Amino acid sequence: MFLSRQLIQFFAVAENSSLAEAAEKLSLTPSALSHGIHDLECKTGISLIKRSGQKSSLTTAGKDLYQQLLPYYIRIKNISDDLSGKKKNKNSINIKTDSLCYSPLKDKIMLFCKESRNLTISMKSPELIDIKHEILNTNTDIVISSDFSIDNDEINHLNLPTEKIGIIAHNSLLKKYDSPSDLIMNERLIRVETKTHKDILNRCLSILKINPTHCHSIDVTAEYDIYKLISDSAGFSLLPENKTLIDKIQNKNCSFIKLPHGYDTSIRRRIYFKKTHSTIISDFILMIRRK
């Protein structure tokens, strides 16, 4: 209803492994579909797809365009389906994430909750997540994960903004040491007992050329415990930069310190979701992808 013919054709090609498959789903001939994609390439001035025998895939520029347009494409398509009576909107979202660890994502999810008071939200962080099983075989609507290996025709994914990692510690500890390495070697590392947080910490230690076995640590069960222990000068933690958290810890005489150039690291995550879903899911995806 609201989507152009060429945009629909582009998404069909992006979500199928060949022009023939995409054309069949649109009830077009491969030749007609190919002409439509060519017209779009002429309008945008970029090459969007590459062909290898009978197969087709997006170019790097095509993938970038797909990632940018997908949430809006889904949103418009869902509105069109709602107006035509094809789909009823859900009043709940079931989310699973491989740990947020004071992530900026957590703030965005909380904001979404406040703005959608008639919505029921369930959010769980199991130790391990089988993404394909959760999305396709359970009532899970969304999985947020640092696993980039999932490739399935029935599952969409979008890359989320990169989160920079830094040191959070009480100022009294930071003043004692000349470098991040000295701090890490001599103070206790406070971490949440999840695979994701441990992987983040081990990656940071590896970049700093520090053996994880040389670090004394405190394992805690909840993110709140990290904040409390840092405020009490019990140790330090390595966490994503988060404005809300930084504002809180500064009032407790604590600081967030970015890692030195050459030692910086980050978290990259994806949001996975069913290709067929409600408008409220689209709204949620758009919210957490905002920078």
Q: Give me the pLDDT at residue 135, please.
A: 92
Count CB-CB contacts under 10 A for residue 224. Answer: 10
* Amino acid type, 39: D
Give per-residue pLDDT as tens, 131-172. 999 999 998 999 998 888 888 888 988 888 888 888 899 999
Q: Residue with structure tokens 């709940």?
A: 92
Q: Residue with structure tokens 């966490």?
A: 239
Three-state secondary structure along 25-55? Answer: HCCCCHHHHHHHHHHHHHHHCCCCEEEECCE
The pLDDT of residue 86 is above 60: no
Give per-residue pLDDT as tens, 199-244. 777 777 787 777 777 778 888 877 778 888 998 999 998 888 888 7
Q: Give me the pLDDT at residue 286, please.
A: 82
